[in-house]
């Protein structure tokens, strides 16, 4: 999995930073996480191919997280998209989009499949052989969701030379990956560990959208490989963060530490800050493996 930051500012675009949007690449699929104003421009600017876009996830209905959505949906239609697109979002967004399409007399060239998010409870919203996605509640002024994306393991790694040496037929390879032993017709058992090694572990990325500092999310983000957590303010603006249901860089670092995540990525900066280095410095004093996200950068999960 690779994560490209398309926008990492909060409500107001400022200092070259755009409202929230991220592109998560999982093998040959692209997943769009939130869709602030100008997201379609950012996709083009950073070379993210919309034809590979399969799912869009909207965390909540504050405008800086979804105002770019009507534009990208209609643009893909104008460019002739025919493959279905899945939209996972608060239920009210379906009414909003239908109203926009109706007054504009717009008919999409593809099927837009709307999946309303379940409020106030953690829910598995995608479960395929490649990918599992869970939504979970965070604490904001309105209903808001975080997401955990899990790229599933493909199983054990084959050792081709050992497979040939032990005469394991190719039709059995998938079962070897699943951990099975192979039994020859003469009764000889080829133990799985003779012809395979441990495969790459499943990778997990957690996205925590706008939220008040809360330890209630720790069970969902525990030990993820990469955690993106909003850090709208620095700690000297703690009261403002609390009043507006946001988090500081210091608080995000405490969560990363307690949840034992692999790496912390900060974002959703207030437009009051011109530079983002202070966010990294503040958080890294508590959780060392911290990076202040930069637009256009791609991060391995």
Residues acting as catalytic residues? 64
Helix ranges, 3-114 (H):
39-45, 69-78, 92-103
CB 292 within 8 A of CB 266: yes
Pairing assessment for the beta strands 145-151 and 131-137 based on DSSP bridges? antiparallel
Cβ neighbours around 132 below 10 Å, total: 17
Helix ranges, the chain (H):
39-45, 69-78, 92-103, 160-165, 173-177, 192-195, 218-221, 238-243, 249-259, 277-284
* 3-state secondary structure (DSSP) of residue 207: strand
CB 217 within 8 A of CB 255: yes
Using a 10 angstrom Cβ sphere, with 0-12 exposed, 13-18 middle and 19 or more buried, the burial of residue 259 is buried
Q: 9 is written with which tokens? A: 């500012």
Residue with tokens 């209905």: 61
Of 64, 71, 20, which is closest to residue 50 (Cα–Cα)?
71
Instruction: Give strand ranges (E) for the chain.
Output: 2-7, 21-26, 29-35, 53-57, 85-89, 112-116, 123-127, 131-137, 145-151, 157-158, 182-183, 189-190, 196-197, 203-208, 226-230, 263-267, 290-292, 298-300
């Amino acid at each position: 999995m690779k994560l490209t930051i398309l926008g990492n500012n909060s409500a107001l675009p400022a200092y070259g930073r755009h409202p929230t949007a991220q592109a998560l690449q999982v093998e040959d699929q692209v997943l769009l996480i939130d869709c602030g104003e100008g997201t379609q421009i950012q996709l083009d600017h950073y070379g993210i191919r919309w034809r590979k876009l399969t799912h869009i996830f909207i965390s909540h209905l504050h405008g800086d997280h979804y105002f770019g959505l009507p534009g990208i949906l209609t643009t893909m239609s104008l460019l002739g998209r025919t493959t279905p697109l899945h939209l996972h979002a608060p239920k009210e967004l379906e009414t909003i989009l239908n109203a926009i399409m109706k007054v504009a007399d717009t008919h999409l060239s593809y099927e837009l499949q709307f999946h309303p998010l379940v409020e106030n409870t953690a829910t598995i919203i995608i479960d395929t052989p490649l990918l599992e996605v869970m939504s979970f509640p965070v604490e904001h002024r309105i209903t808001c969701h975080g997401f955990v994306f899990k790229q599933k393991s493909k199983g054990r790694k084959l050792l081709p030379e050992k497979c040939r040496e032990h005469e394991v037929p190719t039709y059995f390879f998938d079962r070897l990956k699943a951990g099975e032993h192979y039994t020859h017709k003469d009764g000889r058992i080829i133990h799985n560990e003779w012809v395979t090694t441990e495969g790459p572990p499943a990778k997990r990325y957690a996205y925590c959208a706008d939220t008040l500092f809360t330890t209630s999310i720790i069970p969902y983000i525990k030990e993820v490989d990469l955690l993106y957590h909003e850090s709208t303010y620095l700690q000297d603006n703690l009261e403002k963060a609390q009043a507006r249901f946001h988090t500081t860089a210091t608080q995000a670092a405490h969560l990363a530490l307690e949840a034992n995540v692999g790496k912390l990525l900060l974002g959703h900066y207030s437009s009051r800050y011109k530079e983002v280095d202070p966010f990294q410095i503040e958080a890294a004093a508590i959780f060392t493996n911290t990076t202040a996200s930069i637009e256009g950068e791609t991060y391995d999960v």
